[in-house]
Structure formats: C-alpha cells, structure tokens
C-alpha cells in the first residue's frame, strides 16, 4: 500500500474528501514547484498532482496549455520534474505525489526508466490521459512492480463496458472527468454529475476523484458531497500565474478550497446528494 491508498483510507475513516490541487511544473518559473508544493501541503491539500508540460496536450484547456508552453520555455522536462519531486521529498514533503504526463514524454524517457526513476523520486501514482487501459499491458506491470499506481480516467459518456474496464484496471483511485471537454474553470457544474458518480460506484469500491471545471470553494464543497476526492487545476494555475506573489496566492486559494469542503459538512453518508440541491446548473 502506497501513500495514495493510505491517504484515501484514512480520509474515508474520518468522512472527509481529499483535496488534490494540480500544478504545472516549471510555471510560472522553472523552480516554482519547490516553493509552491510545501505551501499547498500546509494549506490543506491531501494529494498533489504534478503536471509535466507537453507541447501537444490532449485534455488541457487554454489556461493549462498556456502554462505548459511557458514551462517548456522555462526548461521544464520530465527529468527535471522528477528531480524537483525528489528534492521536495528530501526537504520533508510527505503528501502523495501524482505525476501527470502524456505518453510521448514517457515513451521517450523509457517506460522501464520512468518506473524506476519516478519511484525513486517519491512519486506515488501516474496519470497518462492519452494511454487507454487496453494499451497499458506493458506499462502497468512495470509500475506495479515499484508500487506506482497507474490511474485511468472516466468521462460522463463512458458506457457500462468502459466503466467496467477502467474500474478494474485503475490503481489508487479513479479520475472522473466532470464534463465533456477539456480542463478549465466553469461557472457551473453539470447537473448529471450525481448519476455519473452513482453509475461508477455500483461498479467499484475504489476511491473516486472528480476533476475538470472545479474552481471555487463552493463547487469544491458540492463535489466533496459526491466523491472521495476533489481535483482543482486551472483555477490554481491561473492564480499563481497572475499573482505578484505566487506562494501567497496558492496558500490563499488552497485554504479557501479546503475550508469550502470542510465547512460544507460533507461526510461519507452525504455523498450522493444531488447537485440540484445546491442550485448548480448545467453547461
């Protein structure tokens, strides 16, 4: 059992949902993650998603695309990202790290090498959005051998067969995409999110974390009533990119998200509450 699995297990015992912010490594400055990650951990994050920039992203919206381009210009790479993760571990950061990278950089790095080096750097799980589970037969055994969770995504359009495949293959947790489209902040969350979550819950007891479109403490609190984890990316990337003091901006937003989730009073028993009860419209 690695840090991801332990964290979700502990949070389930206390009836709390996990907060998992996303950062683009190398943004806004090459070494920004070294100062941002500890502050995010202190502000209430339970896991953190470390995004490796890629020139041709599949699932990222304008905010993260722009951040990735800047990060690439700053010299960020998969190798440097792992080195920074290792430095954060050496400095005492203990929360789980989930690496997000597209398959091309991993293939160029070498699958066996990424398994070895990511584990050595203190990475606990990896999300590869453009790697479907049917094509992961070579990758997943190498990751499992070094206790790395390979985490797969499900979209609202996933049918029962797809839900069955992903819930069986995904390790650590299952990433539920809240909407059809790319990452980015939304004014409203889709009203059919409850039925989507319930469909997946009938197929697995693994933790479910929801991402895409969550940007405010209120939305985070609403999603915490449905899922085991809340993933916030574009809002945090935007906040640190626009701030004169990125560290202070990260601390403020993550604290507000955590408070929004905790003050909402969500427990395991609450999860499954229809989003309509919170007056959340579709988009």
**Which tens digits make up the pLDDT trace of 100-156?**
999 999 999 999 999 999 999 999 999 999 999 999 999 999 999 999 999 999 999
How far apart CA 41 and CA 63 sit, in angstroms, is 23
Q: Which residues are catalytic?
A: 49, 60
**Which tens digits make up the pLDDT trace of 23-69?**
999 999 999 999 999 999 999 999 999 999 998 877 577 899 999 99
How far apart CA 9 and CA 225 sit, in angstroms, is 17
The ranges assigned to domains in the chain are: 3-278
Exposure letters 52-75 (e unless 16+ CB within 10 A, then b): bbbeebebbbebbbbbbbbbbebe
**Which tens digits make up the pLDDT trace of 156-194?**
999 999 999 999 999 999 999 986 544 444 455 555 889
Which CATH fold topology does 3-278 show? Answer: TIM Barrel (3.20.20)
Q: Are 217 and 161 spatial neighbours (Cβ–Cβ below 8 Å)?
A: no
- 203-217, 218-232, 256-270 — which is least confidently predicted? 256-270
Q: Which two tokens stand for residue 274?
A: 């229809």
């Amino acid at each position: 059992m690695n840090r991801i699995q332990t964290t979700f297990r502990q949070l389930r015992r206390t009836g709390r949902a996990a907060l998992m912010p996303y950062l683009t490594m190398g943004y806004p400055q090459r070494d920004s993650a070294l100062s941002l990650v500890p502050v995010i951990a202190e502000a209430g994050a339970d896991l953190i998603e470390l995004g490796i920039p890629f020139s041709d992203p599949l699932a990222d919206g304008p905010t993260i695309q722009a951040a990735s381009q800047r990060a690439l210009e700053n010299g960020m790479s998969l190798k440097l990202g792992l080195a920074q993760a290792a430095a954060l571990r050496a400095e005492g950061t203990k929360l789980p790290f989930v690496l997000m990278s597209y398959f091309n950089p991993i293939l160029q790095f070498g699958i066996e090498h990424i398994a070895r080096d990511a584990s050595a750097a203190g990475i606990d799980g990896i999300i590869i959005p453009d790697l479907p589970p049917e094509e992961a037969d070579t990758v997943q055994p190498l990751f499992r051998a070094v206790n790395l969770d390979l985490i797969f995504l499900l979209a609202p359009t996933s049918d029962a067969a797809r839900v069955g495949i992903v819930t069986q293959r995904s390790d650590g947790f299952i990433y539920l995409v809240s909407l059809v489209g790319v990452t980015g902040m939304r004014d409203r969350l889709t009203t059919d999110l409850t039925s989507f979550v319930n469909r997946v819950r009938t197929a697995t007891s693994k933790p479910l974390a929801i991402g895409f479109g969550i940007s405010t403490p209120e939305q985070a609190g609403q999603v915490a009533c449905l899922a085991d984890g809340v993933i916030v990316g574009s809002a945090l990337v935007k906040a640190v990119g626009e701030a004169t003091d990125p560290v202070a901006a990260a601390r403020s937003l993550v604290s507000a998200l955590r408070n929004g989730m905790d003050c909402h009073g969500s427990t395991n028993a609450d999860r499954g509450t229809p989003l309509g009860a919170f007056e959340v419209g579709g988009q």
